[in-house]
Amino acid sequence: MTDVDLRTSILRHLTYSLGSDADHATQHDWRIALSLAVRDRLIENWHAASRATRAVGAKRVYYLSMEFLIGRLLEDAIVNLRLEDEAQQALTGLGLDPVAVIQDEPDAALGNGGLGRLAACFMESLSTLGVPAFGYGIRYEHGLFRQSFEEGRQIETAEDWLTQYHAWEFERRDVRFKMCFGGEVVEEGGKPVWHGQEAVMAQAYDTPVIGWRGRWANTLRLWSAQPLHGFDLDRFNRGEYAAAAEPEALARTISRVLYPDDTTEQGKELRLKQEYFFTAASLRDILRRFEAEGGALTDLPKRAAIQLNDTHPAIAGPELVRLLHDEREMPLDQAIATARGCLSYTNHTLMPEALERWSEDLMTSLLPRHMQLIERIDAAHAAEQPSRSVSLTGDGEVRMGELAFVMAHKVNGVSALHTDLMKKTVFAELHRLHPDRIVNETNGVTPRRWLLSANPRLSGLITRTIGEGWVDDLEQLERLEPSLTDPAFLDAYAAAKRANKADLADWLAAEHGVQVDPDAMFDVQIKRIHEYKRQHLNILEAIALWRDIKANPQGNWVPRVKIFAGKAAPGYFFAKEIIRLINDVAAVINSDPETNRYLKVIFLPNYNVSLAERLIPASDLSEQISTAGKEASGTGNMKFALNGAPTIGTLDGANVEIRDRVGARNFFLFGMTADEVEARRAVPEHAAQAIAADPRLSGALMEISRGTFSRRDRHRYRGVVANLSGADYFLVCSDFTAYWDAQRRADAAFADADAWRRMAACNTARSGWFSSDRTIRGYMADIWDVVAVRSGLDE
Ligand code: 26Q
């Protein structure tokens, strides 16, 4: 099917795959026909990649993640296969609007935020680099909920991406494993044998992940839970209609829905089942492949590098030991060593409440053999440490971070600061015992999606200036450096940004009915709503600014549009209050004729990957304002810098490294450092002190308290104000004055259009290091010990 031009292929698929015809086809039909036509062009290289891997007996990377936030796939495939022009022509020739067809695809939102999006960027980079790899996860029927607002409050509705035909996946009827839960462990022939009580089938679905130029493709293998036996005909025949369908519904529950919390929701049995289900199915698949290719089991670490994306798949340690020791008779010590040789673990958070712990009782009832093995692993590890100060269990709970650490040969943090803090805080004792185990791998983002495809105006300018080598060698952006003093280049750079902003302004008017001035500063904070990310610091600043403008409406104000987007976990009450407050503040400020030339506040609903792709290229200022020490890395921060939006931010996560690279003059730094944060918390009444010292802060809080943003419900935000002026754990008040000052420095810089565009362009030219290709090379060398089978750079 690849011997014909794209137009012919689209029409053939429309006719023969969809059974439709050009006269009756809907946008959906055309989009599927295009997807299938594009898909045909990558299958052969996908197969060639696995043949090449088998031919040389290459070591493979296995990336185990509960989340893959892949977003739309069609445009990614078109861009990576370099089919933009052909697709554009074919669609226009068929009387279709290419943008509308591309945007008809639903976002695959199989993740919450940063961790899931990182997994998606890593999969793309692994393919671009030609590294044999599988991503393993869950094929959720419902991804992250859809968000809308009712009177400013977040409303969640089910997301149902899979109700549409999914053109990118292949069901593998021959790849299915029976997974067990519960039951008991009994001695048989002197060995412990686990007899599970409940069983479900893990069914594999494969999606190809295509690298740059389509030279290599890997597989994202997602597991769907299905009943072992279909429908119970006996029960049905006895008239028990609902009961006959029950086992099926129960089994499918496991892959029904993504948990919408991006910190741990403690103790939910179904969550633990999901974790075991996909981890154990993946390990079964990995061992099956290894055994089919032949070799001694102790050589498994030479053929398989298994990366655990946070502790969610940490049961992989005991499960792999069980498969090797119980099921394949490898001595326990050797089984532990072999498993450790394969496994490595990425930590994404230091926050104590976010570290996964499972009750021993739940673990014993669901996974009785694993609980025994965890105790054996703990004992073996304790025997190595004279002080016996680290234990995998305690207070009736299993500590998944410690378990993952002990079962991994390498443990990594996701930014330099975060890795350093890991060594000093959560894993201090384990780090002392295993000083070579913790390494840093600063996150990155794929430049194909986040620059080339999301920002065609800027990527076109870059390619015209330095050629297109930057696309898979992002540090070549340095070659823009000489152009940073070239007025013609800076004009073109500013024109690209201006055009992106005008597009966004049009879209905001058309889709959300808000008018904004494309020449205003677009100040953007888009991420999950969390107290530590401090969206409330941002909205407090907006209130204070609004009050200042009202006090002096003739002042020389720099026009701003503050844009927010992000979802709150459905059970996170305070985060939902922040959303409502921002919406309420927006309603008041946007309708104030005295100020709305200068200040607008917009909270866009249903933030997802596609909305990020729309907003980031049109942003002027990137808000990265977490309490220092709390944001492990951030990856949005990198996307903004790359697209020429300077950061206003704290010294947290990868902000530190971004500032080091783009230069202190091109970054609006403010706030306490991680050390100062710890010290400040010890100051009694720190919030009250900060409020007393800054009339703008006290004024803004007073404005909230007096009900200005509360509609008819005067005390609506009493809780928010009490939190901020009381405990204020995230030090919003203590950082407010510094934040205000940094914002005014940003105003002054923006008012100087020449200086600003140089600053923006500097951010692009110096962000090349933040490519996920660089990150993956780091994992390859420091953790996985794998090499590319076919380098993405040759041809
Ligand atoms: C765990 C157990 C039960 C329910 C939910 C969870 C859960 C789910 C998702 C816990 C955490 C997450 C997601 C965490 C996350 O996205 N962390 C972010 O990871 C990024 C990639 O490394 C970093 O850039 C961010 O700083 C970090 O917050």
- Position 725, amino acid: S
**Domain finish residue from 441, 471, 506:** 441
pTM: 0.98
Active-site amino acid positions: 348, 527-528, 533, 635, 639
Give the span between the Cα atoms of 202 and 225, in whole angstroms. Answer: 5
Q: Kindly state if the Cβ of 313 falls inside 6 Å of ligand 1.
A: no
721 pLDDT exceeds 70?
Answer: yes
Residue 229's pLDDT band (boundaries 50, 70, 90)? confident
Do residues 96 and 146 both lie within one domain?
no
**Ligand 1, atom 4: closest residue by C-alpha:** 264
Residue 299: predicted pLDDT: 98
Do residues 507 and 642 both lie within one domain?
yes
Q: Is residue 452 part of a domain?
A: no
Mean pLDDT of 156-161: 93
Do residues 101 and 142 both lie within one domain?
no
Query: Ligand 1, from 63, 66, 112, 417: best to mutate by most atoms within 8 Å of Cβ?
Result: 112
Q: Kindly state if the Cβ of 631 falls inside 6 Å of ligand 1.
A: yes
Q: Is residue 473 part of a domain?
A: no
pLDDT tens digit string along 11-33?
Answer: 999 999 999 999 999 999 999 99
Q: Is the alpha carbon torsion for 363, 366, 372, 378 positive or negative?
A: negative
3 pLDDT exceeds 90?
Answer: no
Q: Is residue 463 part of a domain?
A: no
Do residues 215 and 248 both lie within one domain?
yes
Burial of 570 (0-12, 13-18, 19+ CB in 10 A): middle
Do residues 181 and 267 both lie within one domain?
yes
Do residues 156 and 208 both lie within one domain?
yes
- Are 728 and 686 in contact, with CB atoms under 8 Å apart? yes
Here the CATH number for the domain that contains residue 297 is: 3.40.50.2000
Do residues 690 and 567 both lie within one domain?
yes
**Ligand 1: centre distance to CA 412 (Å):** 14
Q: Kindly state if the Cβ of 259 falls inside 6 Å of ligand 1.
A: yes
**Ligand 1: centre distance to CA 632 (Å):** 9
Do residues 190 and 218 both lie within one domain?
yes
790 pLDDT exceeds 90?
Answer: no
Instruction: Find the domain containing 93 and state its range.
Output: 1-56+83-106
Q: Is residue 65 part of a domain?
A: yes
Q: How far is CA 649 from CA 224, 533, 732, in A?
A: 41, 11, 13
Listing DSSP states for 325-336 in one string gives IITT---HHHHH
Query: Ligand 1, from 110, 259, 262, 357: best to mutate by most atoms within 8 Å of Cβ?
Result: 262
**Domain finish residue from 417, 441, 465:** 441
**Ligand 1: centre distance to CA 239 (Å):** 47
**Ligand 1: centre distance to CA 637 (Å):** 16
Give the span between the Cα atoms of 640 and 660, in whole angstroms. Answer: 16
Total domains, the chain: 3
Q: Is residue 536 part of a domain?
A: yes
Query: Ligand 1, from 63, 263, 609: best to mutate by most atoms within 8 Å of Cβ?
Result: 263
Q: Is residue 38 part of a domain?
A: yes
2 pLDDT exceeds 80?
Answer: no
**Ligand 1: centre distance to CA 262 (Å):** 5
Which of 721, 132, 124 has the alpha carbon at shortest distance from 451?
Answer: 124
792 pLDDT exceeds 60?
Answer: no
Q: Kindly state if the Cβ of 653 falls inside 6 Å of ligand 1.
A: yes
495 pLDDT exceeds 60?
Answer: yes
**Ligand 1: centre distance to CA 276 (Å):** 18
Residue 793: predicted pLDDT: 40
Do residues 52 and 62 both lie within one domain?
no
794 pLDDT exceeds 50?
Answer: no
Q: Is residue 644 part of a domain?
A: yes
- Are 131 and 780 in contact, with CB atoms under 8 Å apart? yes
pLDDT tens digit string along 545-584?
Answer: 999 999 999 999 999 999 999 999 999 999 999 999 999 9
Residue 795: predicted pLDDT: 45
**Ligand 1: centre distance to CA 777 (Å):** 23
Angle CA 413–419–420, to nearest 5: 175
Do residues 540 and 604 both lie within one domain?
yes
Helices and strands in the chain: count of H runs, count of E runs: 32, 24
Determine the distance from the C-alpha atom of residue 390 to the mean position of all C-alpha atoms in its chain, rounded to a whole number: 31
Residue 354's pLDDT band (boundaries 50, 70, 90)? confident
Q: Kindly state if the Cβ of 271 falls inside 6 Å of ligand 1.
A: yes
Atom of ligand 1 nearest to the CA of 268: 3
pLDDT tens digit string along 360-406?
Answer: 999 999 999 999 999 999 999 999 887 778 999 999 999 999 999 99
Write out the two tokens for 687.
């919030």
Give the span between the Cα atoms of 11 and 617, in whole angstroms. Answer: 34
pLDDT tens digit string along 312-323?
Answer: 999 999 999 999
Mean pLDDT of 442-470: 98
The percentage of residues in the chain with a pLDDT greater than 90, rounded to a whole number, is 93
Collapsing DSSP to helix, strand or coil, 307 comes out as: strand
Q: Kindly state if the Cβ of 644 falls inside 6 Å of ligand 1.
A: no
Query: Ligand 1, from 310, 450, 657, 772: best to mutate by most atoms within 8 Å of Cβ?
Result: 310
Residue 1: predicted pLDDT: 53
Give the span between the Cα atoms of 476 and 765, in whole angstroms. Answer: 8
**Mean pLDDT score of the chain, rounded to an integer?**
96
CB burial of 638-649 (b: ≥16 within 10 Å; e: otherwise) equals bbbbbbbbbbbb
- Are 245 and 25 in contact, with CB atoms under 8 Å apart? no
Do residues 383 and 237 both lie within one domain?
yes
Atom of ligand 1 nearest to the CA of 112: 9
Do residues 272 and 181 both lie within one domain?
yes
82 pLDDT exceeds 70?
Answer: yes
Q: Is residue 487 part of a domain?
A: no
Write out the two tokens for 34.
């295009």
723 pLDDT exceeds 60?
Answer: yes
**Ligand 1, atom 13: closest residue by C-alpha:** 262
119 pLDDT exceeds 50?
Answer: yes
